[in-house]
Amino acid sequence: MMSSTLVETVSINYDDFNDSFLTCGTCLCLYDSIEHNPKLLPCSHTVCKNCLERIIAAQPLDTGSFRCPICRETIHVPQGGVSAFPPSFLVNQLLDLMASQRRDVVPKCSIHSNQELLFCETCDIVFCTLCTDNNHNGRGASEHTVIPFAIAIKRMSEILLYKAHLCIKNLNGAYENISDELRCLEQSVDRTLDSINRSFQDVIAVIEKRRHECLQLVRKIREDKRTVLKEQLDLIHGEKDKVQLDCSNLEYQVEVRNITKKISDLNEKLDSTSNLAEPRENSFIKYEYKHNDALKQIESSIAKFGQIKISTTFPALCTARVGEATSHLRCTAQVMTVDYHGNPRLTGSDPVTAELRTDKGNLVESKVKDNDNGTYDIVFVPPASGRLKLSVNIFKRPIKNSPFMIDVSDHINPVWKLGSRGSGNENLMQPVRIAANPNGLIFVLDTGNSRIKIMKPDGQIDRHIGPEGLENQSATGLSLTHDGNIAVVNWRNKNVSIIDPEGDLVKQFTSTEFIEPTDVAVNSRGDVIVADSGAAKIFIFGQAGNLITTFGSKGTRDGQFKLISSVTVGKCDEILVTDHRIQVFSKDGKFSRCLCDSGKGQYGGIAVDTSGLILATKTEKGKCYIQVMNSSGKLQYCIDSNADKLKRPSGIAVLPNFYIVVVDLGNDCVKKYRYK
């Protein structure tokens, strides 16, 4: 048999209920449907209509607002006045409920009139103890919670009131949000109309400029024509004066010979005056605008001028794809927009904004890229490991699940890895140097196999070349020339070999001063730079193999070398040499500066990218990593993998799009990393 538990409850006094829920807190009058009609304020408090009219009438200034007499929040009076405030639905329902109930009525059993009805919360059943013989069946429960039915009704009413209050609060918030959006709509329309007017003023200015140019051209043509015609008039006037002067002197002439000569001169003038009678310039000038299709082009351009963009994006349903990030590397979070019905948007131009902050609240720079297909990339570079908070808004409203938390790691794992110890197609044995051409083709000096492994940017093997210049497993230096050939240095036979991409020997040279040449580099002039760790010198050879100069000596001072590990050239052909530090020399071998000199560890390989960043592999106290430095040698960050650690990295080369490849001598493999 299932047992029942009778819960002791406290009854609420009828008058107390009226005072608490059905009485205006300002005038202490019971609410009714006439003078004391309950009105619901935006702050969720209820005040009777009479009190609101009295409060508004008592305001000293017609500000259109007043303070709630209960919470003192500022309330704006709607256009319809007090009557426009919504009625308090809950209070009216309670008034109707109380009007239909008798005071202190306790629900009784219809059979046993002296027995109060009970309610089992466990079984959701109303029962009488006599009818059920002090027990009732439950559904899967051994203990029952039983309370008086009257208390159950009151408790349910309280729950109803609470839930309704939450609903009203949410609806009030929704009302404010929609009202704010309406206000923003009007502001946006005003801004758009102003923008349209300004843009068409620009069009009118262009047309007005052309009109002014045409008017000025007409005036200039008029002046040019007038000048020519006035000059002709002046000439005619001068000739006329000459004729009149000659005629005025005839009355004093008595010699026939002079008169005859004058007549002859006038005959000649008669011939010339016929030419003067023809205007040397004409008065024709006419304006045309339909001589070409310019008018149609203007009409067509005007029809296409400007566009009105709208958006159906619904921020609350838009999502973002956010993954883990790595410090100092370019990371991306993608936002996918949808409309109100959840359909993906296929166009861009939404006002997407993003704010990225560290766990300490510091702002991290980010940029939003519009992909013009309904998606947006948020691009950022985390400054350090930790956690970032990304807030994404569209129309100043947060998207779904915003803000997002992004975990940032310091470890940069390789994109791909190739190789293991051996002599097979995909094996390597003692790889010491690596180089890459501008197309991303990778050349690995596989010293133990006396060959060069040529690989594609994705790590696929293209072919092998050798052993010309790579004999006796002794080639230790590798560099590419600007004409596509490969420079190799062999420490055992002390030869510098230039071979073509097919592995054929192009030329070979050496120096009697070589002791242990270990690395090679080629500058933009085609000069071959050889590092000799045994001689602690750098040799510079011309393209023909002629020795140009040498510099360096054994030691730890500036310009001296302890144990040279690698050499490369920078953007301006400066020479960078590594041992336990990095030293920079001019293209002619003059010492310039020392970049890194911690006095600890040993550098393995070094490279310089197109922007001037310096990348170098280093081993220190058994720990191996890649340093990324700016052109002045300031350390930016280190690349260290937690999934596949480096072990004696010896060579490094730069690939396009901020990738590097590193030969790991300790693991006999090649690894590709992203470094920016």
Q: What is the pLDDT of residues 594-635, one digit of tens each?
A: 987 777 889 999 999 999 999 999 998 888 889 999 888 888
pTM higher than the cut 0.85: no
In the chain, the amino acid numbered 170 is N
CA distance 23 to 638: 72
Q: What is the largest CA-CA distance in the chain?
A: 173
Whether residue 513 is predicted with pLDDT greater than 90 in this model: the reply is yes
pLDDT at 546 over 70: yes
Query: How much is the average pLDDT of 264-270?
Result: 72
Closest-CA residue to 636 (of 653, 650, 616): 616
Give every CB contact of residue 307 below 8 A, 6+ residues apart in sequence.
none
Average pLDDT rounded to a whole number, residues 119-144: 68
The DSSP bridge partners found for residue 409 are 326
Which helix (H) or strand (E) is 187 found in, with range?
A: helix 149-248
Q: Percent of the chain, pLDDT > 70?
A: 92
SS3 state at 377? strand
- The per-residue pLDDT for 102 is 47
pLDDT at residue 486, rounded to an integer: 96
Q: pLDDT tens, 8-29?
A: 445 556 666 776 788 888 888 8
Percent of the chain with pLDDT over 90: 52
Provide the pLDDT for residue 649.
92
pLDDT band at 89 (very low <50, low <70, confident <90, very high): confident
Q: Note whether 325 and 404 are within 8 A (CB).
A: no
Predicted confidence at residue 141, as pLDDT, reads 43
| Per-residue model confidence (pLDDT) at position 140 | 44
- The answer on pLDDT for 350 being more than 90 is yes
Per residue in 442-500, pLDDT (tens digit) is 999 999 999 999 999 999 999 999 899 999 999 999 999 999 999 999 999 999 999 99
Going by C-alpha positions, the residue among 432, 531, 545, 453 that lies closest to residue 497 is: 545
Residue 7's pLDDT band, with cuts at 50, 70 and 90, is: very low
pLDDT at residue 1 greater than cutoff 50: no
Query: What pLDDT score does 35 carry?
Result: 83
User: Is the pLDDT score of 136 beyond 70?
Assistant: no
Strands 325-326 and 404-409: parallel
The tens digit of pLDDT for each residue in 294-331 reads: 989 999 999 989 988 889 999 999 999 998 898 888 99
The reported pLDDT for the residue numbered 14 is 61
pLDDT tens for each residue of 406-454: 999 888 888 999 999 999 999 999 999 999 999 999 999 999 999 999 9
- Those residues whose C-beta lies under 8 Å from the C-beta of residue 652, and which sit 6 or more positions away, are 434, 604, 605, 606, 607, 615, 616, 617, 626, 660, 661, 662, 663
pLDDT of residue 642: 62
State yes or no: pLDDT of 548 exceeds 70. yes
d(CA 549, CA 576): 16
d(CA 205, CA 194): 16
Mean pLDDT of 83-92: 88
Spacing of C-alpha 493 from chain mean position: 55
pLDDT for 134 equals 60
Amino acid identity of 315? P
pLDDT of residue 12: 56
Over residues 164-202, the pLDDT tens digits come to 899 999 999 889 988 988 998 999 999 999 999 999 999
pLDDT at residue 269 greater than cutoff 80: no
